[in-house]
Amino acid sequence: MGKNKRNKKTCAFWNKAMSAEKFKKDGLWGLRLPSGDIVMEPKYDKLELCTDFIYAHYGDCHKFFYKNGFVSECADKDDDYRFYENGAVGINNSDGSVFLPADYDEIIDWGDDCDVVYVRKGNEFHYYNHRHEEILTEVEKIDEDEDPNCPYYLGEDQNRHVLMCVEPIDKKAGNKDCFAYNQWVRLSLIPCSKVREIFGGCKVVAMSDDAINHFEEKDTYIYSARVCTSDGKYPISTCIDKFKTLGCYDVSWIYLLKISVNRNTKIDPRDLYNVIKHFEDNSGCIRYEIAIDYDDDLKDGEVRVLQLHYFWDDMGAFMYDTFSQNILPSGSVEEVINELEILPPLEKRRRILKAFWWIEISETTRSWFETRKVLEYLKSIGCNDYSTLILRNLEINYYSMEEITPIHWNLIKEIVSWAISNGGQLNSIQNGKTLYEQYLEYIDDAREVTNQEPAFYESIQNGESLATWLREMGGTTVDEHRRKIESRLEGLTPKEVLDLASMKSLFIPRTYLDWSYDQDEQRNYKFMVGNAKHHFRQGDKVCLMIYGRQTYQFGNILVVGDDYMIVHTDEWLDISEEYSIRLF
């Protein structure tokens, strides 16, 4: 992997280098000014002063010094066939013969699975295949593109304000088509300024402003988009399968999906749920959001999927951030408030979300009493969706098990209880596992480790106890969870499928008991749920939690009415309390 850095000294170095000349000493090249002052020490076996950069090679590595101050350093690659001479770039074929002579300022070979080579000299650029035929001659002009001399690109270009969109096609049919990712594809460009227009205002299921705002942040690392049209039994799943062949699920990204159909086409709930399962199982998926809209240009039964994926450019910095490492996991509520209150509401939420990715429970030193105050504060500023994120963040690994004290194990229980009483989804799936399964896996891995201190084995026993408790609280495996979801999909609208998959419609945050329903002796209680949209049904086992507290009880649904449910409980309830209800 290469290293990139930028500083003012490098910019000053470039200015000197342009006035310097190459010299050789003991078989190695350097740069010096006409005055004799050394600009680059003679330590390179190859040195070329090109128009936009200096190429310096040594051993099996090389550096690029760019005029904008960036320096790139990386190891040589066997599949990089470019060569540098006379201040220009050329490229060889894989057999060592010259494909294009050293006559260009820039050359980019898109790779072994692509038949595209980009070349530029000054402001003139071309794309060729490996038969020397010019391709991609039809180029859209995007005014906000910061690099109009390289409209189509394969790499991770940062903040160009233009997304390259790749669409799989059956065969070449126009001047925007090329062979890439071992298949024919069509390329197009989407201005980032159009993303809100494209994804906003969807009529079937809206994309949240929060998701679009996040994409538009200044620190977003913009990559690209994919689009596909399909029909048949499961057309959305077919599009996702096509995307899998286009290199967009192999690293960590945030995904925005827009699914379009005409008004006569019904989306199969199982097809939509298959897509949700794909993102739940994708280890590189940080977050995803789905919007659905009408497009009457599509035929009956046809589905078009547009997927945008991107990343935060500075996300890794939060690994070493004081707020992430100290204040949020271990600080007092006053310290958390002081850190966040100066921020606007949207940035406040972003700050918390980014920080949560780097909290490790074993490093927490705060008591549950203080932790609860912090969680209640986060809830008060509109961070209700973090209840599920908190649960996901409670995963551990056996390397840190020895550091997790009995206090930590108890803290995990308290956090889980708080989170699920505030709408957190205990069985949300990340990386293809529920929290319960993650603990089982970590414990199994830990059992394989030998020659550890007694505290390590004691921690394994505490982990087993916690896994048992999670099970008692309704923790399930992925298969168990999905069977519950799939048994309820029939006849649902797309919005209902998304709510069901997120368990939103299997959680009612606040209900009250109908005192006039007098079957207390039989432990049968009538819960008034009002107009809450839910997918509970007769026979479901549910967990009842006193609203605002972490006292819970279990029961079975006997009757589901329009605005009520009758539940038979394991023990008597306090009828003066209000309760939340979630599927067990």
Q: Give the CATH number, domain containing residue 571.
A: 2.40.30.230
Q: Per the domain annotation, does 106 fall within a domain?
A: yes
DSSP per-residue codes, 13-53 = HHHHHTT-EEEEETTEEEEE-TTS-EEEEEEESEEEE-SSE
**What single-letter DSSP state applies at residue 327?**
I
How many angstroms separate the Cα of 302 from the Cα of each of 58, 83, 172, 202, 256?
A: 55, 48, 22, 17, 20
User: HSE of 121 in the Cβ direction (CA atoms, 13 Å)?
Assistant: 9
Are 104 and 204 in a shared domain? no
The last residue of a domain, from among 282, 312, 342: 312
Average pLDDT for residues 232-250, to the nearest whole number? 94
Average pLDDT, the chain: 87
Residue 109 pLDDT > 50: yes
Average pLDDT for residues 498-509, to the nearest whole number? 90
Q: Per the domain annotation, does 500 fall within a domain?
A: no
Q: Per the domain annotation, does 210 fall within a domain?
A: yes
Question: pLDDT band for position 112 (50/70/90)?
Answer: confident
| CA distance between the termini of the chain | 46
Helix residue ranges, H only, 309-367: 322, 328-330, 333-340, 345-356
The last residue of a domain, from among 436, 463, 480: 480
Average pLDDT for residues 255-259, to the nearest whole number? 97
Q: Per the domain annotation, does 364 fall within a domain?
A: yes
Residue 431 pLDDT > 60: yes
Q: Which residues contact 342 (CB under 8 A, 6 or more apart)?
A: none
Edge-first strand order for the sheet with 82-85 is 82-85, 88-92, 98-104
User: What would the two tokens of residue 480 be?
Assistant: 């168990």
Domain range for 264: 162-312
Q: SS3 letters for 133-202?
A: CEECCCCCCCCCCCCCCCCCCCCCCCCCCEEEEEEECCCCCCCCEEEECCEEEEEEEEEHHHHHHHHCCC
Average pLDDT for residues 564-578, to the nearest whole number? 92
Average pLDDT for residues 490-514, to the nearest whole number? 92
Q: Per the domain annotation, does 126 fall within a domain?
A: yes
Pairing mode of beta strands 134-135, 177-180: unpaired
Average pLDDT for residues 238-246, to the nearest whole number? 96
Average pLDDT for residues 540-568, to the nearest whole number? 90
Q: Per the domain annotation, does 139 fall within a domain?
A: no
User: What would the two tokens of residue 159 be?
Assistant: 């903040």
Question: pLDDT band for position 399 (50/70/90)?
Answer: low
Q: Per the domain annotation, does 189 fall within a domain?
A: yes
Torsion of CA 513, 519, 522, 527, to 10 degrees: -20
pLDDT at 361: 66
User: What would the two tokens of residue 546 be?
Assistant: 């006193």
Are 225 and 358 in a shared domain? no
DSSP H/E element including 469: helix 454-472
Q: pLDDT > 90: what percent of the chain?
A: 51
Are 301 and 321 in a shared domain? no
How many angstroms separate the Cα of 87 from the Cα of each of 41, 47, 98, 103?
A: 19, 9, 17, 9
Are 58 and 198 in a shared domain? no
For residue 236, with 0-12 CB atoms within 10 Å meaning exposed, 13-18 middle and 19 or more buried, which class applies? buried
Least confident of 310-324, 453-467, 541-555: 310-324
pLDDT at 17: 86
Average pLDDT for residues 13-36, to the nearest whole number? 91
Are 406 and 510 in a shared domain? no
Are 253 and 109 in a shared domain? no
pLDDT at 183: 96
pLDDT at 2: 42
Q: pLDDT > 70: what percent of the chain?
A: 90
Top pLDDT among 12 and 370 is at 370
Least confident of 168-177, 272-281, 344-353: 344-353
pTM over 0.95: no
Phi, psi of 186 (to 5 degrees): -115, 135
Residue 397 pLDDT > 80: no
Phi, psi of 570 (to 5 degrees): -70, -30
Are 332 and 204 in a shared domain? no
519-545 pLDDT per residue, tens: 888 999 999 999 888 999 999 999 998
Average pLDDT for residues 368-388, to the nearest whole number? 80
Are 181 and 254 in a shared domain? yes
User: What would the two tokens of residue 106 be?
Assistant: 């820039």
User: What would the two tokens of residue 182 be?
Assistant: 């071992």
pLDDT at 316: 53
pLDDT at 1: 37
Top pLDDT among 128 and 157 is at 128
Looking up residue 176, the CATH number of its domain turns out to be 3.30.1330.20
Q: Identify whether the C-beta of residue 238 lies closer than 8 Å to the C-beta of residue 274.
A: no
Number of domains in the chain: 4
Of the candidates 166, 206, 182, the one whose C-alpha atom is nearest the C-alpha of residue 292 is 206
Are 326 and 295 in a shared domain? no
pLDDT at 4: 47
Distance CA 567, CA 397 (A): 39
The last residue of a domain, from among 258, 277, 312: 312
Are 319 and 293 in a shared domain? no
Are 467 and 538 in a shared domain? no
Are 404 and 465 in a shared domain? yes
Q: Per the domain annotation, does 434 fall within a domain?
A: yes
pLDDT at 140: 81
pLDDT at 174: 92
Top pLDDT among 225 and 252 is at 225
Average pLDDT for residues 307-319, to the nearest whole number? 70
- Bridge partner list, 557: 567
186-214 pLDDT per residue, tens: 999 999 899 999 999 899 999 988 889 88
Distance CA 79, CA 38 (A): 34
